[in-house]
Amino acid sequence: MRSALGKLAIAFLAAFAVLGALALSASAQIAFKPCGNSNNFACGHVTVPLDPTGLTPGTINLAVRRHRATVGEAHSAIVALAGGPGQPALPFAEDFAETLGSIAATRDLIVFDQRGIGLSHPLSCHAFENPSIYKTSGAVTAACADQLGPTRSFYTSANTVADIEAIRVAGGYEKLVLYGTSYGTKVAEEYAQTYPEHVEALVLDSVVPPNGPDPLHKSTFAAVPRVLRQLCVDRLCAHITPEPVADLAKVVRKMHGGALSGEVLDGKGQPHKVRFNSNSLLSILVASDFSPRVRAEFIPYVRAVANGDTAPLARLFVDASSGEEGGSEDDDNPLFYATTCEEQQFPWNRAVSPHARLAEAVQHIKSLGPAASAPFTAANMLAFGSLEECASWPFTSPNPPPVQGSLPNVPTLILSGTNDLRTPTANAQEVAAAIPDAHLLVVPYAGHSVLGDEPTTCGSDALKALFAARAVKPCAAAPPPPLLRPPPLPPLRLAQVPPAKGNAGKAGRTLEAVVLTLSDFTRQLSFQLGATLNSGSLSSLGSIQIGGLRSGSVRFDGKGYVFHDYSFVPNITLSGRISSDKLELRIGGSAAARGKVKLGAHHSLTGTLGGHHVHILPSIGASAAIVGSDARASHHVGPGGSAARAAVSELTRPLRWLLGA
């Protein structure tokens, strides 16, 4: 009896605590002040309870930014939600404002760092700062959980939903437009299920369903064959492979659960051995939904491995692993695992040991059959995602029940890129089916985060149409953009290179090898420039160094590019320089028709190779890569944006001059 009374008293206290917290939020106003680094946003904080039930003491200060409506007094706000879990949103505030454009004219735009990241009480643990001292990744996450303590359970999506409601009340808004990307869509959906009366509209880009993400990522594995074949539309792979899915399956089998190795040259032309396995292949492929370069090169380079040439894929693996391709949601590890491990519905009993949990997961994956992961394997499904890390997580609660509640039938735009493997179109279709009047827009050739990746204006046009009460039109059919066109299969010998058009014999083959080599160099340059822009380290733009595929290197000396035995085709080397007013290259190597080429009339390459006069226009592939570099620079925003554009323009000037681009 005493115990029952104690529980009843706690329940009353909790109820009063919740009412008190709500009353405080409702009466408070956000004290916005000018932000020191932005003329467009004001800065403020909203204090929320650590535990929305009030049973555990403590508060969190949420860092909030507001962009005021430019027309009238706003009674509604757009809340922009970043990905993750674990991606700060405040660094993207200006990007959100630019993306949303005119729909923010009559609404305030609210951006905030979700609890546990950025400027909103960021979580940290020493385990992720020194992971090498632990034997397994599971041991790292277990140690982190212990360091975070029992309050780690208050960083789930449901807690973020409660925070959004607190911001709405404190800001005095009647309705919210929820705009989410990736994991942000899950938060938006859960808010809409919990507070449907306060939702004006939903914009969901790259969708995670309400009960997602699936810890086994079955929709990702199911989408792999479709995406690979889509990358070969219009016979783009005709001279590379008849079947990219079969090539990938062959390479996975070739690895036998182990690894292959390839030689990668650094910026000084020094070789390094790189090992990669089928998990590496899967990582590269999923990274491709952020990178047109990875998408374009994956198919020919997997075909190369199937033919016994591992160097191209090894180089692509190094580039993708280093973050060169800009494809990251910048997850904060402590928050990522605190949210992911606590709330995902893993295929195990949380009450058993970590070893037993993994055993249950293995059995569950086996029960799905090989088709569920093909052309990859059940072992890849187990290793992908967070199964092995979360199996060691000390859970604070039982397995969560499925998310309940219907989604409100409000104006909704759902965007999905056809090349998105992180959140495939099947996810978007599932959510669209739950909202009767939702507009589902599948955007061709787009990867993850459609509004930031789409090659056309189809998605942004649909966004404007939704809020102007106009019809949302499907995307028009169009050929693949140049940056998504697969490059040629890297040759293993000069005999595999056809003579350049209008040229014959060994000299013609050598000239075509020169064109292929310059195309490879411009692609590498484009993506190294992109990496530098993504890192924000503009000072390193002037020290560009690029290793060849087979040998040699290229460096930027402040005025142009100096080639030293740079090779794409074995035993065909380029030495010399390209600057803004001159091109002189010596062609050497044991397989080459040796000689020199220079720039001729109408931006042609001309010269003498093996005693024969040669002449050709440069390839469109090189031009596309340089256009890609300039496009990345033009999209660079924030401090240093104009400097970035000027620096990249200077670095690409010699090649634009060469190409007439």
Q: Radius of gyration of the chain from Cα atoms?
A: 27
For the cut 70, the answer to whether the pLDDT of residue 14 exceeds it is no
Within 10 angstroms of residue 150's Cβ, the number of other Cβ atoms is 10
Q: Give pLDDT, residue 651.
A: 59
Q: pLDDT tens, 328-379? A: 444 558 999 999 999 999 999 999 999 999 999 999 999 999 999 999 999 9
Q: Give pLDDT, residue 655.
A: 59
Q: pLDDT tens, 172-216? A: 999 999 999 999 999 999 999 999 999 999 999 999 999 999 999
Q: pLDDT tens, 44-56? A: 999 999 998 889 9
Q: pLDDT tens, 293-327? A: 889 999 999 999 999 999 999 999 998 887 544 44
Q: pLDDT tens, 70-107? A: 877 778 999 999 998 999 999 999 999 999 988 888 89
Q: pLDDT tens, 525-566? A: 877 777 666 655 555 556 788 999 999 999 988 778 899 999
Q: Which of 546, 492, 519, 549 is nearest to 628 (CA)?
A: 519
Q: Which residues contact 55 (CB under 8 A, 6 or more apart)?
A: 10, 14, 17
Q: Give pLDDT, residue 527.
A: 77
For the cut 80, the answer to whether the pLDDT of residue 513 exceeds it is yes
Task: Write the burial class of residue 306 (CB in 10 Å: 0-12 exposed, 13-18 middle, 19+ buried).
Answer: middle
Say what angle helices 620-635 and 641-659 make with each other, to 10 degrees: 170
Distance in angstroms (rounded) separating the CA atoms of residues 520 and 578: 15
Question: CA–CA distance from 652 to each of 304, 527, 597, 661 (Å)?
Answer: 29, 12, 20, 10
For the cut 60, the answer to whether the pLDDT of residue 20 exceeds it is no
Distance in angstroms (rounded) separating the CA atoms of residues 315 and 284: 11
60-211+403-467 has which CATH code?
3.40.50.1820
Q: Which residues contact 508 (CB under 8 A, 6 or more apart)?
A: 499, 500, 614
Q: Which of 567, 583, 556 is nearest to 660 (CA)?
A: 583
What integer is the mean pLDDT of 424-434? Answer: 97
Stated as kind and residue range, the H or E segment containing 276 is strand 271-277
Which tokens go with 196?
């449907």
Distance in angstroms (rounded) separating the CA atoms of residues 506 and 485: 27
Q: Are 578 and 655 in contact (CB under 8 A)?
A: yes
Q: pLDDT tens, 374-400? A: 999 999 999 999 999 999 999 877 777
Distance in angstroms (rounded) separating the CA atoms of residues 38 and 44: 13
Q: Give pLDDT, residue 635.
A: 46
For the cut 80, the answer to whether the pLDDT of residue 657 exceeds it is no
Average pLDDT over all residues of the chain:
86
pTM of the model: 0.88
Q: Locate the domains of the chain by residue range.
A: 60-211+403-467, 215-328+345-385, 494-659
Single-letter amino acid, residue 604:
S
More confident residue, 581 or 24: 581
pLDDT-derived band at 405 (thresholds 50, 70, 90) equals: confident
pLDDT-derived band at 465 (thresholds 50, 70, 90) equals: very high
